[in-house]
Amino acid sequence: MYTQRKLWPLFCADLPELCIFVAMKQLLLSLLVMLPAFTAATSAASVKDGAPAQVLFQTYDSYRVPYRIPAIATTRKGHLLAVVDRRYCQLDIGFGKIDIAARMSKNNGRTWSPDTVIQRGSGIEGSTDCGYGDVALVADRNSDNILCMSVTGNVIYIKGTRANPNRIARWRSTDGGRSWTKAEDVTDAFYQMLPNTRTMFIGSGRIMQSRVVKKGTFYRLYCSVLTRTQMDDKDVACNYVLYSDDFGQTWAVLGGSTLDGHDSPCIDGDEPKTEELPNGDVILSSRKWYGRFFNVFHFNDIRSNQEQGTWGQCVASHDIEGGIKVGANSCNGEILLVDAKEVASGRAVKLMLQSLPFGEGRKDVGIYYKEILPNGIYSPRAFAHQWTRGLQVSHTTSAYSTMIQQKDRRIAFFWEEEQKDNGYNMAYRPLTISEITGGKYK
């Protein structure tokens, strides 16, 4: 969400030169209709072993615009959908025109479709649809429904007010990503849940779908938000977790009560993510310097009541023995629970994965992992304890990352990686559990 590490030259999306670029792109695409619909991905990103990385969106391509903010989902049919910001305004959402572009793979990432705009910003100064960015994404495991949530409008997050807020949009596909609805502005519904919040957005990347809680047609969705909330006459950064039992149509605050900041499960947190423990308890993982904030929501009795429970005491991972500790960076990452098997014993296990840059500054993106007890009840401190540093995916400047499990059980890893001082390209690489854990699990 925050401004790119490099400040790009100011660029107006309405200049005649852009019209030429867009027209040329459309002409080229029209000439390619006789070619196969799915094309090979572009140049390789940095990789040392295993399956090669592919750059799916290359900054300074024929559009001459940067890309940022990865999101990826696996559809019911096993197709991969990769979604990014196409930043005509050159900066974060709120500064001007941004489109949302997507590519799809139907063969576990071997080849990808040409990119398609699935939501187009108007670029009109001050309009609520000026741009769309920082997408959070989920594909329903039992149907062809896909939900996208994003920031929208022309207000910078940190400058949002209740009178002129950082806005929130929602749009859907009901056919597995072939077509999309027009974005719907749902700002008021979200701000009504948190009345003392002046600005907010949903953490980008993956909206988590429960494996445990199902009401009616859909399994529950969880997402998390970053807010600036008035608390004791101070403007404080807070995280909250929201849930939906109707696939994103309506939302509620998990464990919410006073909604004045004091009940935030993570005060001073940054861009947040959510995951679910095997027993249905919910993990909040929030961006911070040198590691992550962790908290756990424990249900009183999830079999009889899927709303009531309590948050623990938020902890910083690098303050806990054996916890995640990285260099001097604060960056968005992803948290994901997967099934695995310990190679030495043959035991079936649950592994929690957490991605973030390992390096001093935004570089060397990689993955930490931790074995999770199948029926364990975790305090935040216990959850933050004893992680193992796994695969370093990137060996250069790199930042935001996200991941999802593919149909072939590999992990679809999608991240920002800089090449040749051209800003961030959007790279994809399929990873095995064995690669991530150095052969300890598979």
pLDDT digits (tens, 9 = 90+) for 92-119: 999 999 999 999 999 999 999 999 999 9
Tell me, yes or no, whether 1 lies in a domain: no
Tell me, yes or no, whether 310 lies in a domain: yes
Distance from C-alpha of 45 to C-alpha of 48, rounded to nearest angstrom: 10
Residue 34: CB partners within 8 Å, gap ≥ 6?
none
Q: What is the pLDDT of residue 22?
A: 37
Phi/psi region, residue 302 (left: phi>0; alpha: psi -120 to 50; beta: rest), is: alpha
Distance from C-alpha of 36 to C-alpha of 56, rounded to nearest angstrom: 17
Tell me, yes or no, whether 337 lies in a domain: yes
Domain count, the chain: 1
Q: Whole-prediction pTM value? A: 0.89
**Token duo for residue 161:** 């007010």
Distance from C-alpha of 21 to C-alpha of 27, rounded to nearest angstrom: 10
The pLDDT of residue 260 is above 90: no
Tell me, yes or no, whether 2 lies in a domain: no
Distance from C-alpha of 267 to C-alpha of 288, rounded to nearest angstrom: 11
In the three-class reduction of DSSP (H, G, I as helix; E, B as strand; rest coil), residue 7 is classed as coil
Q: What is the pLDDT of residue 423?
A: 85
Q: What is the pLDDT of residue 425?
A: 95
Over residues 354-364, mean pLDDT: 97
The pLDDT of residue 26 is above 70: no
Over residues 58-77, the pLDDT tens digits come to 987 666 789 999 999 999 99
Q: Quick one: pLDDT band at residue 258, thresholds 50, 70, 90?
A: low
Torsion angles phi and psi, residue 413, rounded to 5: -105, 125
The pLDDT of residue 125 is above 80: yes
Mean pLDDT of the chain: 89
Tell me, yes or no, whether 22 lies in a domain: yes
Tell me, yes or no, whether 4 lies in a domain: no
The pLDDT of residue 39 is above 80: no
Tell me, yes or no, whether 218 lies in a domain: yes
- Domain CATH for 348: 2.120.10.10
Q: Quick one: pLDDT band at residue 49, thresholds 50, 70, 90?
A: low
Tell me, yes or no, whether 242 lies in a domain: yes
**Token duo for residue 245:** 């039992």
The pLDDT of residue 18 is above 60: no
Distance from C-alpha of 198 to C-alpha of 186, rounded to nearest angstrom: 15
Q: Which domain holds residue 155?
A: 16-437
Q: What is the pLDDT of residue 108?
A: 98
Over residues 161-200, the pLDDT tens digits come to 999 999 999 999 999 999 999 999 999 999 999 988 999 9
CA 180 to centroid of chain Cα atoms: 19
CA 191 to centroid of chain Cα atoms: 21
Over residues 209-221, mean pLDDT: 97
